[in-house]
Amino acid sequence: MKVNFIGVDYDYFDYQGKNYIKIIGRTDSGKRICLIDDCDIYFWAILKENISEKKIEKLINKINKIKLDIKGRKTKVEKVELKTKNFLGKKVQALKIYATNYKDLHDIASRIDMDEIEKRRGYDLGYVTHYILEKKVNPLAWYEVEGELLNNSLKFGGIDSALDVDICIKTKSIKEIKEKQFLPNVLAYDIETEEFEIGKGEILMVSLVGKNFKKIISCKKASKKHDYVEYVKDEAELLEKFVEYIRKISPDFLVGYFSDGFDLPYLRARAQKNNVKLSLGLDESPPRFFRGAVPTGKISGIVHIDLLKFIQTAYSQYMQSETLSLNEVAKEFLGDTKKPFEFKPSSKIKEEEWETFFEYNLHDSVLTYQLFEKFWQDIQEFTKIMKEPVFDVTRNGMSHNVEDYIIHNLEKFDEIPEKRPTYDEISLRKKQPAYEGAFVFEPIPGLYENVVFFDFTSSYGSVIVTYNLSKSTYLEKPEKNSNSIEALGKKVYFSKKTGFFPEMLKEIIEKRKKYKTELKQKPDVVKKARSNAYKLLANASYGYQGFFGARYYCREAAAATAAFARQSIQTAIENIEKENYPVIYSDTDSIAFLREKNSKVQIEKFLTKLNSKLPGIMELELEGFFKRGIWVTKRAGKIGAKKKYALLGEDGKIKIRGFETVRRDWCQLARKVQNQVITLILNDGNEKKAMDHIKMIIKKLKNREYEKKDIMIKTQLKKPISEYRAISPHVIAAKKMHEQNIPIEMGSLIEYYIAETMEKKKLVRDKVKLPGEKGEYNIEYYLEKQILPAVENIFQVFNINLKEVIEGKKQTTLGDF
């Protein structure tokens, strides 16, 4: 039988002691298909140098005889081949050791500790990755498959009858074909529960939203019934109905928001309690959970996606939202929000309120569904580039993605994969002191006109490529013709023979450039997603080499990258100053300077000239021209504050970096006022209007004209309450919330305000009150600790001591405020 196929969910199983891959996907006619396949199983034993042929032959014979009987499984070395390969860029002789079962590779490897063997590698990739590498059946790519149709067959223990698919094939041959359209069947879901703690209270309702499908299952009755609501008699029936609908719809993707951490584990817990089998898998298996910071929930044959995780790694750094709550994320990407609903115990919800609750619940799934549509393109590109299944790609962090990319591109270099670091190695790496990072220029506080920003494109990435910095190119001993620099308190050397990591990164950067240009010429969603994926990959590569968990960890390379980057930026600054452009500021890879009377064309010419002198793929680009920019002093002292500035663009847009305005742990009022002051000053070029404005604000503050929402302070709880050594205001607020049974956990955003107190209290934390608590805001605190600190150093730029002005005025015209 021949069929066109795309792979979506990857899993494997053992049959008669051997491993088989089970890929669930679709045919081009939309049929659900299961593909069964296998591949050679092997790992590598890298030999020491200069081992005689005779010795090798003896060694092979010895290894060939290895047989194991462990974990109730008989396994053996099937064959051994001698190959010439590369390991960390060096030519090596290695034995390719084939075995029966992937899971036994580790045990076999530990038996092979002969003297002639230097290293053992390639047994820790996981069967799915190993299979994808071996057979090149990449997720979300199209293939023409030829094989034996299993129909009520006894093969593999009757797998085809046990699986809820249209076609089940044992693969004979497989060949890549041109990309076809794939419109996945997607179902979003969301549950509402009595309690927040997993499994503690009953599930009140479940909503399911697909392409042309809307459903609420609930045992609570509303006064008016929408046709999408389906009543059930109790929780057990609700769970059964939920399973029934999912089985009927059989989606490729079941999508939730924070569903790894809440919805799916909650459903599982309640199913256990009600003795209902949560047989969501195509083989009717219940979800399996894997340990982690947040456990991940896997459903056999259906890809369970927790969108929150993907957004976290792929998008959060470019987002405006202050939290990654469904509400804020939907607001930012869809321009839509959650429906309003005030939570209370279900016994207190009136009949007419249930209707609103249903609408609320349904809309959460609608938002989740729409967000999936929004990110589907990105998920596809990530999957295709990393060549790992959607389930993993949507959950992995960026370092993991970088590593997957490397592993799936090693073949071109004939490289044997490096192993994952052991626990001991990781602890050792973690103990290493931090190495010197980026250079930041200390600005001279002031208001400047005609500011230009130059940026190094993919700065760290370009440095790694240009100076060939990686684990495989690092030279333990100095060599003459090499790249070298001071780092980690010594001189470090890197070979000039291009390593595979810099080479891969070069390709990533080139691709990113290519798609970015194409995108500019003719925008489309695929190019946008692709360009973005390569951009993220390029940006994460530097961090990867310095990350303690990386297979290709190289502290010297990471430190050298930072060192070469410092050198590059400092040279660029010198060259800009040499042309008599005053440099105002610089941080890591960007430089701000004044163009004074020079035209934009002159600046662009100057940029070309600068670029002609840069080594390798180092390149400066024009980030932008700005009408004005302001840099301020630090709170204490007179020196210029780094990482804090504001710009007025040519288009009139204001760009604010680092100021309290952009920090969520300052109250709205202080942030808004600071923003207004900055805007007024940048637009007018002086502080006059800003001064009037701030006086008015202070007056209103003292008259208590502001609402609670303006003065709420939000701070995230980063660890369990008990672990805090310093008891700061937000910890006190969290404690209060805990006492009032308001659900909080690590990661919760704690909201509180500072209130007036009867007695004089010294510590701020003694004045903390929760939003619900009665009290009046503490005028002195908000003036002295929020409003004034936010704007004081901005006025300092004009040599105005705001405090003196305010207090001075107070003396002359008492009662003015």
Please give the residue ranges that form the binding site for DNA (CB under 7 A). Answer: 291-293, 317, 322, 397-400, 423, 426, 434-438, 440, 455, 459, 539-540, 542-544, 546-549, 558, 562, 587-590, 634-636, 641-644, 656-658, 662-665, 714-719, 723-730, 749, 763-766, 785, 789, 793
For tokens 């194409």, what's the residue? 518
Helix (H, G, I), strand (E, B) or coil at 359: helix
Please name the amino acid found at residue 629. G
**CA–CA distance, 596 with 335 (Å, rounded to integer):** 41
Report the candidate in 265, 250, 263, 110 with the shortest Cα–Cα distance to residue 184.
250
Closer to DNA by Cβ: residue 66 or 662: 662
Angle of CA points 810, 811, 816, to nearest 5°: 35
Closer to DNA by Cβ: residue 146 or 455: 455
- The least CB distance from residue 765 to DNA, in Å, is 3
Strand arrangement of the beta sheet that strand 620-633 belongs to: 583-587, 590-594, 446-456, 620-633, 640-649, 654-657
- The least CB distance from residue 261 to DNA, in Å, is 12
- The least CB distance from residue 557 to DNA, in Å, is 11
Closer to DNA by Cβ: residue 97 or 791: 791
Report the candidate in 38, 25, 46, 159 with the shortest Cα–Cα distance to residue 99.
38
Closer to DNA by Cβ: residue 183 or 440: 440
Burial class (CB in 10 A: 0-12, 13-18, 19+), 325: middle
Bridge partners, residue 320, by sequence? none
Neighbours of 790 (CB within 10 A): 25
Sign of the alpha-carbon torsion through 786, 787, 792, 794: positive
Sign of the alpha-carbon torsion through 579, 581, 583, 587: negative
- The least CB distance from residue 647 to DNA, in Å, is 9
Backbone φ and ψ of 694, nearest 5°: -65, -35
Closer to DNA by Cβ: residue 201 or 658: 658
Closer to DNA by Cβ: residue 438 or 805: 438
Closer to DNA by Cβ: residue 108 or 646: 646
- The least CB distance from residue 730 to DNA, in Å, is 6
- The least CB distance from residue 729 to DNA, in Å, is 5
Closer to DNA by Cβ: residue 376 or 753: 753
Closer to DNA by Cβ: residue 134 or 751: 751
- The least CB distance from residue 607 to DNA, in Å, is 17
Closer to DNA by Cβ: residue 306 or 587: 587
Report the candidate in 136, 61, 59, 45 with the shortest Cα–Cα distance to residue 97.
45
What own/partner pairs with CB < 8 Å and gap ≥ 24 does 576-583 have? 576/454, 576/610, 579/606, 581/452, 581/606, 583/441
- The least CB distance from residue 372 to DNA, in Å, is 22
Closer to DNA by Cβ: residue 142 or 753: 753
Angle of CA points 663, 669, 672, to nearest 5°: 65
Helix (H, G, I), strand (E, B) or coil at 168: strand
- The least CB distance from residue 313 to DNA, in Å, is 8
**CA–CA distance, 309 with 385 (Å, rounded to integer):** 18
Closer to DNA by Cβ: residue 77 or 562: 562
Closer to DNA by Cβ: residue 634 or 689: 634
CB-based contacts of 464, cutoff 8 Å, min separation 6: 470, 501, 502, 505, 541, 542, 545, 557, 561
- The least CB distance from residue 586 to DNA, in Å, is 9
Sign of the alpha-carbon torsion through 503, 508, 511, 516: negative
- The least CB distance from residue 694 to DNA, in Å, is 16
- The least CB distance from residue 801 to DNA, in Å, is 16
Report the candidate in 74, 132, 123 with the shortest Cα–Cα distance to residue 95.
123
- Written as six digits, the tokens of 341 are 């609903």
**CA–CA distance, 743 with 271 (Å, rounded to integer):** 23
For tokens 């004009």, what's the residue? 798
- The least CB distance from residue 420 to DNA, in Å, is 8
- Would you say 52 and 36 are in contact if contact means Cβ atoms under 8 Å apart? no
**CA–CA distance, 571 with 643 (Å, rounded to integer):** 21
- The least CB distance from residue 468 to DNA, in Å, is 19
Closer to DNA by Cβ: residue 174 or 764: 764
- The least CB distance from residue 391 to DNA, in Å, is 14
Closer to DNA by Cβ: residue 496 or 657: 657
CB-based contacts of 130, cutoff 8 Å, min separation 6: 39, 41, 102
Please name the amino acid found at residue 465. V
